[in-house]
Structure 1
């Protein structure tokens, strides 16, 4: 899949005020990316770095696929959920224009969903509305092979009972962002993408397009992988599935232009940027560490703003430290392996060295952990008990997928450890638990699982990927 680790290069000329990368730093960035692609199996990556508020580096690596004449840093990758911060920004702009309020009840705009009179627009954007997520899986399920409209998504998922009372819990919800997109169109009188182009992309010189058309000739090929099997071309989801929850495709440099707008407090007012970057609190005062379309953290006492994205065949990460005037964008054409996080983390550690974050204590559900270990053993042995899987998980584990899992995992032998990562968390009505798996030969894997609640809940997802 590789043409060359340095298949394409574009170093951006910047004013003298921006400290450009040294030759040594550039070489180390190349190594970080090459190592991430090699360990994950992702075919390509596109990377942009912002330093001193300017783009100082943009480079593409590897093989972007048969649709590309040559690997290019200008290629538009699907950025998926990173798009959520643009949806949230559109709401903030409409509030400034007096068209709506973050504290409007959803019933004012989209009345035909469950408890619309109890949910605010702010809760939609902060994932605290309680609306069930329509895509918690890390794979495309059967319905995604057919086109969908926003209203059809709402009819199927947003009319179910809420997962919790609005404002009392945090649960990632793509469905909530579909509702937000519908509100934008009603309040603005424009199509969502047209509004974003007029108010954000054109002023910033960003060439963003609908990810549904970023397919085929001239665009990177998305890729899947079943466990440690061969990298396989991914079939894109049918049109409509990401929309306001993840509708955009753009280059790494274009996304970096948005990061610079965040750093410089342009396009949005400083007050709006602050609103987006302020963590939303739950009714009991708990900190969600999430603002409006962005995840919020800290590094050496300074706030970080980040969001990842996952489309069918693509992963992305956008990491910004506004006060440091620093950002890293990493886009990969693979929906496995985590190369994008290894790249942004590695580059940040290189250019802004910091002490590693303290480890978090883990709470273990021993029975579910043992059941996960059992299913992993079945995947290795090729004896998968399908009674332990939901209908969607059985759809995912085709004969080809099951064979790839078996043939790639069996040679590793028995694992020396199978350890839970972090705490179980709710998403889309399922419980997410992840596991680190190590073998005597040094191979490390991660299992990303979703299961129905309860002791005997069936697995909705059981994905195995390499782990650095």
Structure 2
């Protein structure tokens, strides 16, 4: 029930916060074209998206066929958000901790008996997928038992009482089972059903319409779709009731999920330290981490911080990415669980609505140096003082001739820009550049000295496939 998405290629340094501005007409046209082309290319029936910019929702729109009923796509329709629900379950436990009713460092056995390793597994480990409890739904299809209704206790009895996959805190392994246990603990401590707790403490205060996904099926709701290999797209049969409890039980619109993202950006509803706790990567016993906190993944992609989670339910894929420094967020919900449409749309939206980060002074200075050497190589006028001893060894007469002949034939580049992040390797500064021509694109991989001379140790040109 998780499909990790990292942001599409962004620029290279710290971003400038966005102003609270609406989308331009050009941006709206680009977004409409992006979604329409993606749905057409992939066969995915529909997508519902929301964009937060400058801390407010500037777009909420649905596209395509949400069900077999003949009516326009509705941006208010609640899609199944699946594992994106986990951050809400985690937030419920954080709120109960604030109430003094539990501690995330309590063991599971304090609240629920009979769980394998329950005397050693903490609530924090449940929420960070480090408990060792066996995942009950690792498949990307609806397995046989899912045709029959289940209770949380039924899931616990079959999977949470099996031998642990590893000792608590020793590894990271996605476990929907851990979230079922967490939801049961939340209900026991609060004395309320989990959905009622979430409604009272989170959804009602934020004006969010959220449903249990078991109730968001049938006429009036988006239909999930699937396909076998490259066969025709068909409507999926939903799982029987109970299978996504606490681990992925919510349905809501993209706009409603964006309201939660705004609360995260503004540090409202939850206490600021609760937001921080959710976004703090949990470390394993050996000190390592993959960036997962309590129901969310965190990290930095090319200098831009993100908080992210994706989701997969029967016939649905979803993506939710928050960019704290930009006061921005992107939500993409689709009613299929095949193809890369969700990630393609999310990546495309980032490229359209997020500002390109400002390059560092060092990167700004490096760009014209790289362009100068590139132009020398394509014209056959190489200045060897720009190269280290090793680079001079590499650029033999044959290498120079091949560079000149092949690059000169392409004419004048239309663009020469740095891509990806700057990094150190082997004592040199590594940068990659993209060279664009009308009919093809090249990549330039460079290593340069870190001192004032900035001579090139490497300058390799290759086609981009």
TM-score by length of 1: 0.71
Q: Which has the higher contact order (CA 8 A, sep 6+)?
A: 2
1:266 alignment partner, one of 265, 268, 278: 268
User: Which residue matches 1:245?
Assistant: 247
CA shift, 1:326, in A, is 0.4
Aligned length: 341
2:339 alignment partner, one of 337, 344, 358: 337
CA shift, 1:338, in A, is 2.1
User: Would the aligned equivalents of 2:212 and 2:251 in 1 still touch at CA under 8 Å?
Assistant: yes
CA-to-aligned-CA distance 1:207-262 (integer Å, 9 cap, x gap): 00000011111101100111111000000000000010001000000000000000
CA shift, 1:352, in A, is 2.0
2:317 alignment partner, one of 305, 315, 327: 315
Structure 2, unmatched stretches of 5+, are 1-17, 358-464
Q: Distance in 1 between matches of 2:94 and 2:49?
A: 28
1:190 alignment partner, one of 175, 192, 214: 192
The DSSP-based 3-state class of the residue aligned with 2:119 is helix
User: Which residue matches 1:132?
Assistant: 134
CA shift, 1:190, in A, is 0.3
2:170 alignment partner, one of 168, 171, 175: 168
Q: Distance in 2 between matches of 1:294 and 1:41?
A: 29
The DSSP-based 3-state class of the residue aligned with 2:133 is coil
2:51 alignment partner, one of 36, 49, 52: 49
Matched, 1:151 2:153: yes
1:280-359 equivalent positions in 2, closer than 5 A: 280-352=282-354
The DSSP-based 3-state class of the residue aligned with 2:247 is helix
CA-to-aligned-CA distance 1:261-304 (integer Å, 9 cap, x gap): 00000111110000000111110011121000001121343420
CA shift, 1:67, in A, is 4.4
Q: Distance in 2 between matches of 1:83 and 1:255?
A: 10
The DSSP-based 3-state class of the residue aligned with 1:89 is helix
User: Would the aligned equivalents of 1:316 and 1:332 in 2 still touch at CA under 8 Å?
Assistant: yes
Task: Note closer, same or farther for the CA distance 1:17–1:354 as it changes in structure 2 (3 Å cut).
Answer: closer
1:37-436 equivalent positions in 2, closer than 5 A: 37-67=39-69, 69-352=71-354
CA shift, 1:40, in A, is 1.9
Provide the alpha-carbon RMSD of the alignment.
Answer: 1.5
Structure 1, unmatched stretches of 5+, are 1-15, 356-467
Q: Which has the higher Rg, Structure 1 or Structure 2?
A: 2
CA shift, 1:84, in A, is 0.2
Q: Distance in 2 between matches of 1:98 and 1:40?
A: 49
TM-score by length of 2: 0.72
The DSSP-based 3-state class of the residue aligned with 2:318 is strand
User: Which residue matches 1:389?
Assistant: none
User: Which residue matches 1:417?
Assistant: none
Q: Distance in 2 between matches of 1:189 and 1:36?
A: 45
CA shift, 1:49, in A, is 0.2
User: Would the aligned equivalents of 1:37 and 1:44 in 2 still touch at CA under 8 Å?
Assistant: yes
User: Would the aligned equivalents of 1:49 and 1:329 in 2 still touch at CA under 8 Å?
Assistant: yes
User: Would the aligned equivalents of 2:19 and 2:53 in 1 still touch at CA under 8 Å?
Assistant: no
2:35 alignment partner, one of 33, 36, 52: 33
Q: Distance in 2 between matches of 1:191 and 1:338?
A: 35
Q: Distance in 2 between matches of 1:349 and 1:118?
A: 45
CA-to-aligned-CA distance 1:77-110 (integer Å, 9 cap, x gap): 0000000000000000000000100000000011
